[in-house]
Amino acid sequence: MATIIRDPLVEDNIVELDIVTEADRSDIRRRYEAGQLILLRGFRYDLDFKFLDSLCFDVDGPPEFLRKLKKYGGDKIAQLCPESANPLDQFVFAAVFQADAGRLAYYQDQVASGNAQCDALYTSIFPDYRTTKSLYTWRFTSTKYENLHWDNFGIPETFHQVRIFTNIAKSPRLWMTSHHIGHYAESIYDQYDLGALRGRIGDDLNRHVNTVALGGMKAPCMDRLPRHHLAFEQGDVWLCETRIVCHQIYHGEKAFAAMYFSDPASMERPELGFDALIEELHARHLPAHSANSPVTAPA
């Protein structure tokens, strides 16, 4: 089970919950919508973690291939076949799977099983969500010293998302988390002129806050926000809405993550959806005459 060090200067938005009864699942759903990170107690996928951890994508090779390996995820490997003529496919087959078709096939079986188990977990917790799309990422390249940030996807449509993560590696996956976007944006609204983003998608606010308030890529890891520290053990499973929970991967080797898109109106509390939170934030900061004055038709 994960080791967690909580910083008293950040709201305690991390909970460890069982997932046995319907009451447990209801509690997870309620807390997820409230913007908390949930670590599932006593739950793990039935996967061959020893085998999966034996795979290494941090290999030597041509720079043009190595740049693409980070995004050579489960979907591409699921379609990989030893006979592929694609040079990148051949490189992955030889360098990662040692040109062993059986090793590749077993990995593909593990990916399919993990995806299916994650689907079942998601459906058990969020049975009434009207899901529109799901994405799966099997990342086997190392990540370290990521900036603290709130996610932004550049998707213009309003949607709710559920993110489910698990650590595949034997070594702990180190995360740090900080403030809820609504709380932090409230505290800096006037200082960073967030009102200029009124009427735009919530992603634009997250991007602006990441860049202007936290320093972005020009000042990596130089923000001064307090944060909780989490070390997820192999097999740990956790959930959080990454546009709402400020987070940072400090170190990690291998992980599986799934992202489920759904209609925000199907949430138990749609007013807690990401875009609804940002709209409400802007509404609270409308000038008094704008909020209370009647709208006059042009002459």
Q: In this predicted model, what pLDDT tens digit does every residue of 202-239 receive, in sequence order?
A: 999 999 999 999 998 788 788 999 999 999 999 999 99
Q: According to the model, what pLDDT value does residue 221 have?
A: 84
User: What is the pTM for the complete model shown?
Assistant: 0.92
| CATH number of the domain bearing residue 249 | 3.60.130
Residue 209 is classified by DSSP as: I
Q: According to the model, what pLDDT value does residue 288 have?
A: 59
Q: According to the model, what pLDDT value does residue 58 have?
A: 86
Q: According to the model, what pLDDT value does residue 75 have?
A: 75
Query: For 187-195, which contacts have Cβ atoms below 8 Å and span 24 or more sequence positions?
Result: 188/213, 189/281, 189/285, 190/285, 194/281, 194/282, 194/285, 195/282, 195/285
Q: According to the model, what pLDDT value does residue 57 have?
A: 86
DSSP string of 131-142, one letter each residue? EEEEEEEEE-S-
Domain assignment present for residue 104? The answer is no
Question: Using one digit for the tens of pLDDT, what is the confidence trace for 59-107?
Answer: 999 988 888 887 777 678 888 999 998 999 999 999 999 999 999 999 9
Smallest Cα–Cα separation from 58: which of 143, 171, 174, 136? Answer: 143
At residue 178, φ and ψ (nearest 5 deg) are -135, -135
> Token pair for residue 23?
């009451």
The range of the structural domain enclosing residue 259 comes to: 10-56+111-286
The total of structural domains in the chain comes to 1
Domain assignment present for residue 89? The answer is no
Domain assignment present for residue 90? The answer is no
Low-confidence residues in the chain, pLDDT < 70: 74, 288-299
CA distances from 42 to 5, 18, 74, 188, 296 (A): 20, 7, 26, 39, 60
Q: According to the model, what pLDDT value does residue 292 have?
A: 46
Domain assignment present for residue 38? The answer is yes
Burial of 235 per CB tally in 10 Å (0-12, 13-18, 19+): middle
Domain assignment present for residue 34? The answer is yes
Domain assignment present for residue 168? The answer is yes
**Contacts for 293 with CB less than 8 Å, ≥ 6 apart:** none
Domain assignment present for residue 101? The answer is no
Q: According to the model, what pLDDT value does residue 77 have?
A: 82
Domain assignment present for residue 63? The answer is no
* Bridge partners, residue 247, by sequence: 149, 177
